[in-house]
């Protein structure tokens, strides 16, 4: 949501009233672009160069401010929920729940995806409804099932806080704080949360033939073999890097009710294209061993259950992806495939 000029003035007036300041005119908004020297965010082994939006170059001040906001419960209506509540660094920026909980323990409808490497995704959320990390940040703040905080009261609250006023001024220059400043700071912090240099990366991109165990090596072969796992068709590996996601949307037959109907229409809700019914964005497999439970609805508890689901060809429905088919994998194949996925655990920026 973008603020109109009128709403910014109202926010500024309210903020000044709360802080006890008296001015003849409200302050103008701070600069829309960060001030200060831009920082390079270097991708670890196995990841491509990171694209940076020209209107939000990362700086030391915006990254530090974004980190503080990421853990800030003031972003929620009742001061109980932060971004980190659902994206906890201790569990690879997920929450370990089937479905996430918002204010007053309100249960959402989807599993929290990891923030790690989200900066490389072409779109955000399971259904792709946000084009950028900045846009994504604004959604959970206002969502009634998550933080339940309208944007205008939030910026009033931040503008009334002298410490935040000073920190935003350091990052964006003096002036009124807007929701765009909040989103840009959080997004800059999230862009630093990259995970690479896994055993797979050291094997494939560094040439360390000892980096993968024999089981993981066999699992890699299953993963890439079109006649066996064929996993690589959606969880892609490129010549010089691997995101382990194609960034596209696929219907796997996850989340059918007892009558075989889709409980969640996924991408269709955004596009209204019939073939998008039940389609969800391919999640990355990086750090997958640390981000259970799995699928958009958190319905599969373990990697073993995930592998068995794919071996069975998913659940039949009118829009099942053409790549979904029953797989002929032995128990050894399945064990090896899990060993390979466990070798995708990398080194992340925040432990």
* pLDDT tens digits, one per residue of 52-79: 999 999 999 999 999 999 999 999 999 9
Return the SS3 of 349: coil
Query: What is the separation, in whole angstroms, between the first and last Cα of the chain?
Result: 32
Whether the CB-CB separation of 188 and 63 falls below 8 Å is answered with: yes
Strands 249-251 and 279-281: antiparallel
Q: Which of 96, 124, 238, 282 is nearest to 191 (CA)?
A: 124
Write b or e for each residue in 325-340: b if 16 or more Cβ atoms lie within 10 A of its Cβ, otherwise e.
eebebeeebbbbbbbb
- Look at residue 19 in the predicted model and tell me its pLDDT: 45
**Beta partners for 160?**
none
d(CA 234, CA 248): 8
Whether the CB-CB separation of 58 and 39 falls below 8 Å is answered with: yes
User: Which residues carry out catalysis?
Assistant: 146
The pTM of the full predicted model, rounded to 2 decimals, is: 0.90
* pLDDT tens digits, one per residue of 331-348: 999 999 999 999 999 997
- Look at residue 7 in the predicted model and tell me its pLDDT: 45
Question: Dihedral sign, CA of 260, 261, 264, 269?
Answer: positive
Rounded to 5°, angle at Cα 125 from 119 and 126:
125
- Look at residue 3 in the predicted model and tell me its pLDDT: 42
- When the pLDDT of each residue in the chain is averaged and rounded to a whole number, the result is 93
Residue spans of the chain under pLDDT 70: 1-26, 349-351
- Look at residue 350 in the predicted model and tell me its pLDDT: 53
**Beta partners for 256?**
262
d(CA 162, CA 168): 10
- H/E run at residue 348: strand 347-348
Return the SS3 of 251: strand
């Amino acid at each position: 949501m973008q603020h109109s000029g009128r709403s910014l003035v109202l926010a500024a007036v309210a903020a000044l009233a709360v802080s006890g300041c008296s001015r003849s005119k409200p302050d103008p908004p701070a600069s829309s672009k960060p001030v200060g020297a831009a920082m390079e965010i270097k991708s670890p082994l196995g990841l491509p160069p990171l694209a940076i939006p020209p209107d939000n170059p990362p700086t030391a001040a915006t990254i530090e401010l974004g980190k503080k906001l990421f853990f800030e419960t003031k972003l929620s209506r009742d001061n109980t929920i932060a971004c980190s509540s659902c994206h906890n660094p201790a569990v690879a920026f997920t929450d370990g729940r089937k479905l996430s909980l918002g204010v007053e323990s309100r249960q959402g409808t989807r599993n929290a995806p990891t923030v790690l490497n989200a900066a490389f995704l072409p779109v955000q959320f399971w259904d792709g409804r946000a084009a950028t990390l900045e846009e994504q940040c604004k959604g959970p703040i206002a969502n009634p099932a998550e933080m339940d905080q309208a944007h205008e009261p939030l910026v009033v609250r931040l503008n009334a806080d002298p410490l935040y006023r000073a920190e935003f001024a350091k990052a964006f220059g003096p002036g009124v704080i807007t929701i765009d400043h909040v989103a840009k700071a959080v997004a800059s912090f999230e862009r630093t949360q990259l995970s690479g240099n896994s055993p797979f990366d050291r094997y494939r991109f560094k040439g360390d033939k000892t980096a993968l165990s024999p089981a993981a090596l066999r699992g890699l072969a299953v993963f890439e073999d079109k006649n066996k796992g064929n996993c690589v068709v959606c969880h892609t590996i490129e010549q010089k890097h691997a995101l382990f996601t194609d960034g596209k949307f696929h219907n796997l037959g996850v989340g059918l009710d007892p009558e075989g109907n889709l409980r969640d229409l996924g991408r269709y809700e955004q596009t209204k294209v019939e073939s998008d019914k039940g389609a969800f964005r391919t999640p990355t497999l990086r750090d997958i061993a640390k981000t259970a439970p799995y699928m958009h609805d958190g319905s599969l508890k373990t990697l073993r259950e995930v592998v068995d689901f794919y071996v069975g060809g998913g659940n039949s429905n009118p829009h099942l992806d053409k790549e979904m088919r029953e797989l002929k994998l032995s128990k050894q194949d399945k064990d090896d495939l899990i060993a390979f996925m466990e070798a995708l655990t990398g080194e992340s920026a925040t432990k």
